[in-house]
Structure 1
Amino acid sequence: MDLEQLIINYGYLAIFIGTFLEGETIVVLGGIAAHMGLLDLPLVAATAFMGSFMGDQLFFQIGRIGGKRLLATRPVWQERIEYIDELLHRYRFWLILTFRFYYGLRNIIPFALGTMSVPFKQFFILNFVGAIIWAIILSCLGYLFGQAFEAFLDKYQLPAIIIIVLILAFILFMVKRRTKKKIIHKIEEHHHHIHPDAPNPEHPHSDNINTINHSNNTNH
């Protein structure tokens, strides 16, 4: 079985599984394959929508049913949950609609929202609409990306796909890494605002120093 046949036979299944778990890269690649005539662009977008919508709906339900018990065993998640809760109170509609674009929090947000006071109907509707927007944007982006490299793809199909995958993976990795650092910084600021007596993560021994200084001042 050659590469084209592999994509034709299993392309939609790969897109569904990839988007069920996360899958920005797989949707873009699906759009590229659609431009090459191996897949159908509307079906790529529809498959990406179904995978993303069903996956996030499942994570939301897990949060509703057993989220609090699971959080009790994962205290490291608590600061992110608190930060998401603050975002929910400030940007409720937009957070639920656009959480797929929140790299660094994208996977945990549906679960977190399930543990909070988000009605099932509200999440279902906004998740549905958000998944459509996300799937269309990324699949069309892949289609346009394939259009820009049409000549190269026609001549060097397999090497081109490998190169494109590596480039896309690197770009997404750098975007996620940078966004994740910003999010972690905001979470730390939020945590320090709520718990002003908590040790500064950049200076973990600062509390000990302050305690020693206070003790010395008391002795004098």
Structure 2
Amino acid sequence: MHIQEWLETVPAVSIYLLVGLVIGLESLGIPLPGEIILVSSALLASQHGEVDPLVLGICATAGAIIGDSIGYAIGRKGGRPLLARLGKRFPKHFGEQNIAMAERSFEKWGMWAVFFGRFVALLRIFAGPLAGVLQMPYWKFLIANVFGGILWAGGTTAVIYYVGVVAEAWLKRFSWLGLVAAVLIGITSMLVLKNRAKKAAARAEAEPDAGTTAAPAQVAPATD
């Protein structure tokens, strides 16, 4: 079953809690499909009035900020041995190459890596724990975390919601246009076929007449 189909079967409160929980766990360093859950829920909100997009955006934002903060605390306390353990547990996400890439991003961009990391799936998982491991000052991390969480979670919810509303309106309009176009095509096809049938009948009537009217000419007898 598709995620959005499954979300349609659960109450709105459960969707809010699920979005906040999954995004929070992803932000603290557990590889989960937080963005997929958020996008699916925002699309569902655009199609069904039971899901409030404002509440959904608030839950997603809260999960992102709180999850990142917990990840920062865990990373600051666990240090690099934590990354080694995560690498053994999740080698696909916390492999040496991925960690090295994330560290280079943090060394180059600092708190901006936390902010923009929200919009990159891999860095979204790394941002909190790695900021703690690298001993980034908490006030810098908090500013980047809060603004990044609001812009990513709230912005994604708003954009997907309004895109879904506009898309649904266009699809409804397209269905009417499609119906009108189908009727016009049907009428045009019928008129063309009817016109061709008349021409074919006229040719069929003209051919026998041409054959019967073409009588041989009589030769006058010769006279002296």
Q: TM-score range by the shorter chain?
A: 0.5 to 0.7
Using the size of structure 1 for normalisation, the TM-score is 0.60
**1:123 and 2:141 equivalent?**
yes
Aligned to 1:145: 163
SS in 2 for 1:106: helix
In structure 1, what is the Cα distance between the partners aligned to 2:96 and 2:133? Answer: 12
In structure 2, what is the Cα distance between the partners aligned to 1:99 and 1:37? Answer: 32
Equivalent residue for 1:26, pick from 9, 28, 37 = 37
- Structure 1 window deviating more from structure 2 (47-56 vs 91-100): it is 91-100
CA contact (8 A) 1:12 1:44 kept: yes
Q: Which has the larger radius of gyration?
A: 2
In structure 2, what is the Cα distance between the partners aligned to 1:134 and 1:94? Answer: 14
In structure 1, what is the Cα distance between the partners aligned to 2:166 and 2:21? Answer: 27
One-letter identity of the residue aligned with 1:85: E
In structure 2, what is the Cα distance between the partners aligned to 1:48 and 1:92? Answer: 24
- Render the CA deviation track for 1:155-212: whole Å, top value 9, x for unaligned: xxxxxxxxxxxxxxxxxxxxxxxxxxxxxxxxxxxxxxxxxxxxxxxxxxxxxxxxxx
CA contact (8 A) 2:76 2:135 kept: no
Seen in structure 2, the aligned counterparts of structure 1 residues 133 and 58 have a Cα distance that, compared at 3 Å, is same
Using the size of structure 2 for normalisation, the TM-score is 0.59
Cα RMSD (Å): 2.7
In structure 2, what is the Cα distance between the partners aligned to 1:89 and 1:96? Answer: 11
Q: Indicate the structure whose relative CO is greater, using CA pairs within 8 Å and at least 6 residues apart.
A: 1
In structure 2, what is the Cα distance between the partners aligned to 1:105 and 1:12? Answer: 24
In structure 2, what is the Cα distance between the partners aligned to 1:118 and 1:3? Answer: 38
- Render the CA deviation track for 1:41-61: whole Å, top value 9, x for unaligned: 211110000111111111111
**1:54 and 2:72 equivalent?**
no
In structure 1, what is the Cα distance between the partners aligned to 2:134 and 2:7? Answer: 45
One-letter identity of the residue aligned with 1:105: L
Aligned to 1:114: 132
Seen in structure 2, the aligned counterparts of structure 1 residues 119 and 12 have a Cα distance that, compared at 3 Å, is same
One-letter identity of the residue aligned with 1:130: G
- Render the CA deviation track for 1:132-151: whole Å, top value 9, x for unaligned: 00112210122123214426
**1:7 and 2:36 equivalent?**
no
One-letter identity of the residue aligned with 1:102: V
SS in 1 for 2:11: helix
